[in-house]
Amino acid sequence: MLGNFEYHNPVKLYFGDHALDFLDQELSKYGKNVQLIYGGGSVKKNGIYDEVVRILKRNGKNIIEDGGVMPNPTIEKLREGIRIARENHTDLLLLVGGGSCFDYAKAVSVSVNCPEDPWDKYFIRFEEPDCEIVPVGGVLTMVGTGSEMNAGSVITNHGQNLKIGHVFGDEVMPKFAIMNPKFTLTLPKKQMVSGIYDIFNHICEQYFSGSDDNTSDYIAEGLMRSVVHSSRIAVKDPQDYEARSNIMWTATWALNTLISRGKSTDWMVHMLGQSVGALTDATHGLTLAAVSLPYYHHIMKDGLPKFVRFAKEVWRVDPAGKSDEQAALEGLDAMKSWMQELGLTLNISELGANEEMIPELVKGTLILDGGYRKLDTEEIAEIFRESL
């Protein structure tokens, strides 16, 4: 049964190989001081940075550099971005990059005018901003997180061994996102497949919860089949524009809050994976891939009808002559084969984790209750051991 819900998504998207042409009209809506956010410098090597700078200068903007955003944005980097924005009276936070840059920009946006410590307020107490928010816009160059069309932000605090996400209200969503699939074609394969699994798991986190009779789940199944189909093409030919554009578009719909409407959602794979990321600084999508299968094997019997449906509708498993448990396991085996086909990491030891870290991994895992069963700390430790 569909529960009561509200749905509103104000993000304006420009999609296609001419999407950057629309940056001019967006820039006209904001003041002179633009804080230009980007990562480790790949956008300078591939020329996207220069294109954006030309457009900013053409529009008479004062460019405030804020580079060096890491794949798992840290609280130290957040505080640096806040300082830059305050000193330069930033009118718009414009990022050129992937989900980490979007996450970082949103965290800066709610913190610039906040008199309190942003880590405590937003990522420990999970409060909403009660100050003026600096608008965010972005040019997307890596897909996976869906951060271009949601209000989520994930920040890492290495001092506390924590990686925590906060989903803010609609007002924190980016004002616009420019999505040219060609900008993703220069990504290394590891980053591409990491993003692909991030997309897939975002859908799973919302799918593996609630009842079976839910419109959102039918949409989710179509999105999952699309990811699987396009990913197989992209792994063989990373320059296939159609496959990469479908992956980019699916990533947005996987986490723009649409398929979570009217139902509970799980997100424990993300809690487990983020704990691994906090200790190892491993790539987000790879941490999810490494913990997913052990987790799903633990909860499968609690949500058996949905796992059987997953096997049939996503992986085309024929349930004839099989028990529900056999069919469900065959679906998870098919998922594992696809993950291996992509070349994903399937254990956390390859990401730098070890047995000695398990107590700290458990400590850093937020326990949620939106899925089929609420885990206890002993079972979380067991899942991490199985993930090694």
What range does the domain containing 57 cover? 12-183
For residue 64, which of 27, 92, 23, 29 has the smallest C-alpha distance?
92
162-176 burial string, b = 16+ CB within 10 Å, else e?
bbbbbebeeebbbbb
CA distance 185 to 343: 18
pLDDT of residue 4: 84
Q: For residue 214, is pLDDT > 90?
A: no
Percent of residues in the chain assigned helix, strand, coil, to nearest 5 = 55, 10, 35
CA distance 77 to 106: 13
Q: For residue 217, is pLDDT > 70?
A: yes
Percent of the chain with pLDDT over 70: 99
**296 and 271 in one domain?**
yes
Q: Identify whether 4 is part of a domain.
A: no
Residue 16 three-state SS: coil
Q: For residue 213, is pLDDT > 90?
A: no
CA distance 68 to 205: 30
How many domains does the chain divide into? 2
Q: Identify whether 1 is part of a domain.
A: no
**39 and 151 in one domain?**
yes
Question: Where residue 185 falls among pLDDT bands split at 50, 70, 90?
Answer: very high
Q: For residue 2, is pLDDT > 90?
A: no
Q: Identify whether 5 is part of a domain.
A: no
Residues sharing a CB contact under 8 Å with residue 238, sequence separation 6 or more, in sequence order? 185, 187, 189, 192, 244
Rounded to an integer, the average pLDDT of 220-229 is 98
**168 and 235 in one domain?**
no
pLDDT of residue 277: 96
**238 and 108 in one domain?**
no
CATH number, residue 131: 3.40.50.1970
CA distance 277 to 158: 10
Q: Identify whether 207 is part of a domain.
A: yes
DSSP H or E segment with residue 241: helix 241-254
Domain boundary among 145, 164, 183: 183
**344 and 204 in one domain?**
yes
Query: Which whole-number Å values give the CA distances from 298 to 292, 365, 380, in the listed order?
Result: 10, 16, 10
Q: How far is CA 245 from the centre of its chain?
A: 17
Question: Where residue 10 falls among pLDDT bands split at 50, 70, 90?
Answer: very high
**248 and 219 in one domain?**
yes
Query: In this predicted model, what pLDDT tens digit does every residue of 261-312 receive, in sequence order?
Result: 888 899 999 999 999 999 999 999 999 999 999 999 999 999 999 999 999 9
Q: Identify whether 3 is part of a domain.
A: no
Q: Please tell me which of 37-51, 83-97, 181-195 the model is most confident about, judged by mean pLDDT.
A: 83-97
Q: Give the single-character DSSP code of 332.
A: H
**144 and 229 in one domain?**
no
Could you tell me where the DSSP H helices lie in 110-208?
Answer: 118, 189-207
Q: For residue 339, is pLDDT > 70?
A: yes
Q: For residue 3, is pLDDT > 80?
A: no
Cross-strand bridge partners of residue 13 = 177
Rg (CA), the chain: 20
Q: Identify whether 144 is part of a domain.
A: yes
pLDDT of residue 1: 62
Q: For residue 171, is pLDDT > 90?
A: yes
- In this prediction the pTM is 0.94
For residue 291, which of 263, 324, 267 has the smallest C-alpha distance?
267
**Identity of residue 190:** K
Query: In this predicted model, what pLDDT tens digit does every residue of 257-267 receive, in sequence order?
Result: 999 988 889 99
Percent of the chain with pLDDT over 90: 93
Q: How many other CB atoms sit within 10 Å of the CB of residue 20?
A: 19
**261 and 165 in one domain?**
no
Query: In this predicted model, what pLDDT tens digit does every residue of 356-380 receive, in sequence order?
Result: 999 999 999 999 999 999 999 999 9
Q: How many other CB atoms sit within 10 Å of the CB of residue 225?
A: 15
**177 and 269 in one domain?**
no
- Token couple for 27: 């820039």
CATH number, residue 325: 1.20.1090.10
Q: For residue 218, is pLDDT > 70?
A: yes
Q: For residue 234, is pLDDT > 80?
A: yes
Strand 33-38 and strand 92-97: pairing? parallel
Residue 306 three-state SS: helix
DSSP H or E segment with residue 339: helix 324-342
Averaged confidence pLDDT in the chain: 96
Question: Where residue 211 falls among pLDDT bands split at 50, 70, 90?
Answer: confident
**145 and 242 in one domain?**
no
Domain boundary among 168, 183, 198: 183
Rounded to an integer, the average pLDDT of 224-249 is 97
CA distance 26 to 157: 33
CB 123 within 8 A of CB 155: yes
Rounded to an integer, the average pLDDT of 210-233 is 92
Q: Identify whether 2 is part of a domain.
A: no
CA distance 310 to 222: 11
Domain boundary among 138, 165, 183: 183
Q: Give the single-character DSSP code of 181.
A: G
**149 and 47 in one domain?**
yes
Strand 152-157 and strand 162-167: pairing? antiparallel
Query: In this predicted model, what pLDDT tens digit does every residue of 11-67 receive, in sequence order?
Result: 999 999 999 999 999 999 999 999 999 998 889 988 999 999 999 999 999 999 999
**104 and 202 in one domain?**
no
Rounded to an integer, the average pLDDT of 157-170 is 94
pLDDT of residue 40: 85
Q: Identify whether 136 is part of a domain.
A: yes
Helices (H) and strands (E) in the chain, counts: 15, 8
